[in-house]
A and B are shown apart, each in its own frame.
Chain A
Amino acid sequence: MNRRRMGFRGWLGQGVLCAVALVWLFPYLWMGLTSLKPLGEIISSPTALWPKQPTLAAYREVFRSLPLARYFFNTSVMALGIAALQITLALPAGYALAKLRFRGKRWAFGLIVATLLVPAQVRFVPVFSLLASVGLVNTLSGLILPFGVSALGTFLVRQALLNVPDSQIEAARMDGASELYIVYRLLAPLLKPTLVSLFLFSFVSHWNDYFWPLVLTTDDHARTLPLAIALLREQGTGVRWHLVMAGNVILSLPALAVFAAAQRHLLRAVTVRGFGG
């Protein structure tokens, strides 16, 4: 191996890596820079890369014109509610399917796996009229309930529980533990990595969700952040990009923060989704 050739190829490799990083990071950078520019600088041509007079005016304007606190509250309650409900229900269901013998088990398992095939994009027409008929349009419950069960989550919890030896559960029963205690206090901690991945993945997907809140909300009461930020552009005159980008920074920062803090878990969720099913 020739050292100098390695050196050149090494540099070339590093250069290519940096170029790839730029393709994915430049859009975020541009979003941040645009949000700091006054409108005049944005529409002047050619556009300067760095803001000449950086200003937070766009953020002030977004905070002034939108009830952001309410949107944050709605989005957090919805995403946390869905993720928590999914885990809470998946544990006992997965336990029954993995560990208990009972009549109708195959039927129940089949139903859960079959619903994996029905995406929200197919369900929304009837679910919308169903929720409308019971007055749940424009409510947080209406946003949470249709996603309260994750068929995939139940399936993955079941798979993970198959690896837990029966003897551990029998020992707990001998000690007089109730089934609820066994599910939530004994087995849940054993499944921690799976549950953390499921929770975070569900939280981020629903924090980001646009489709369902769009279908199910018509006013500010239950409106979520992605919807509000998208509306910011539709209601604007079309050129107020500094406001849209400031809103976009506010929307994407929490997702990017979760990503930075828990990348490992999210990666795990993606690969498990891949090879678990």
Chain B
Amino acid sequence: MKPSRRADPYWMLLPTLLLLFVFFVYPLIMLVEHSLFSWDLLTPARYVGLANYRSLWRSGDLWQTFTTTLSMSLAVVLGSMAAGLALALLLDRPGRLAAFVRSAVFSAYVVSWVSVGLLFLWLLDADSGIFSGLWRTFLGGRAPHWLGDPSLAPWAVAGVTVWKITGYALVIFLSGLQDVPPSILEAAELDGATATKRFLSVTWPFLRPTTLFVATTSLIASFQLFDVVRVMTQGGPVRSTTVFVYAIYEQLFLDLRVGRASAEAVVFFVILLLLTGVQFLLFRSEEST
């Protein structure tokens, strides 16, 4: 449509574009610039070229952060997708009980990360937590230090994250199941196909795009984990749960190394862009098949 006055669309977009420029575009430019400086927020910044990137790479911090983030994210994505799909198949039925259980699972997605982090910090407490209590009662001996053992902590935090976000996968899978035509399922049943066979040959092919969507969006979201790590483990023990955002936060607020934090944020952003690019390509090839 033609605007009534030529200026109309411009002032309507002005506040939005202004805020986007100030809080999205300009910060990105500043981020790249800061990453080339050594700066502690107190003394004047000093230009150091690519030294921040080099030191991140050479110290091994970057690689360690990347592998920690990647392995925790993969655990979260696989765990929440498996649980979400299983629950969606179980709960895709009428009835009050099923509706109640759907709400119960989804509620965790709505409660804050802080609440969930504190809740599981208490449940997993080594001395008085209920998990340790049950372990002592039924298995005897000392319960594992879920959050104090560097080889267990990442998986414990990933497990808590799965509990929190399974509701997301559940909701998306439930809406994906609506795309499966009931007539084909009924025909397969009449032909004597077992439930497993019906799932593999009818339901699953229809769920492929949904699965791809849940997988990529949860992976991108898991890469940005922070709250639950900050509340439960502060990146420890021995940096075993130091994921990307926590590492950047630590560099900036605990070490006051703005340049290094910025360099790490730039690398992190590039990784997120690559993941989004992969997502885009996967969807395009899915659509063309």
Q: Contact residues of A with B, CB < 8 Å?
A: 13-14, 16-18, 20-21, 23-25, 27-28, 30-31, 34, 42-43, 45-47, 89-90, 92-93, 95-97, 99-102, 105, 108, 111-112, 115, 117-119, 121-130, 145-146, 148-149, 151, 154, 166, 169-170, 173, 179, 183, 204, 207-211, 214-215, 226-227, 229-230, 233, 239, 241, 244-245, 247-248, 251-252, 255-256, 258-259, 263, 266-267, 270-271, 274-275
Contacts and interface: CB of A to CB of B under 8 A. Distances in A.
Which 9 residue pairs of A and B lie closest in terms of their CB atoms, listed nearest first? A208-B112, A92-B12, A126-B30, A126-B27, A96-B9, A93-B16, A102-B9, A226-B114, A252-B115
Nearest to B7: A102
Contact of A90 (B16, B30, B41): B16
Contacts of B115: 208, 226, 229, 248, 251-252, 255
Given A89-B16, A267-B171, A270-B171, 20 more contacts: A27-B123, A30-B130, A93-B13, A97-B13, A99-B1, A100-B1, A111-B25, A115-B24, A122-B269, A125-B252, A125-B261, A126-B28, A148-B19, A226-B115, A245-B119, A245-B122, A252-B115, A255-B111, A259-B111, A274-B175
B3 interface: yes
A248 B117 CA distance: 10
A100 B226 CA distance: 41
B49 to A, nearest CB: 19
A239 B108 contact: no
Nearest to A182: B4
B90 A16 contact: yes
Contacts, number: 253
Interface of B: 1-4, 6, 8-10, 12-13, 15-17, 19-20, 22-28, 30-31, 34, 41, 87, 90-91, 97-98, 100-101, 103-115, 117-123, 125, 127-128, 130, 133, 136-137, 163, 168, 171-172, 175, 213, 217, 224, 226-227, 230-231, 244-245, 248-249, 252-253, 258, 261-262, 265, 268-269, 272-273, 276
Given A20-B105, A27-B119, A123 B110 contact: no
A170 B1 contact: yes
Nearest to B112: A208
Contacts of B272: 117, 119, 122
A34 B119 CA distance: 10
A255 B110 contact: yes
Tell me what chain A mostly uses at the interface: helix, strand, loop, or mixed.
Answer: helix
Contacts of B28: 118, 122-123, 126
Contact of A123 (B4, B27, B273): B27
B114 A125 contact: no
Contact of B30 (A16, A130, A252, A255): A130
Contact of A125 (B16, B227, B265, B276): B265
Contacts of A146: 23
A17 B195 CA distance: 19
Query: Max chain B CB contacts within 10 Å: which of A24, A90, A97, A115?
Result: A24
A101 B1 contact: yes
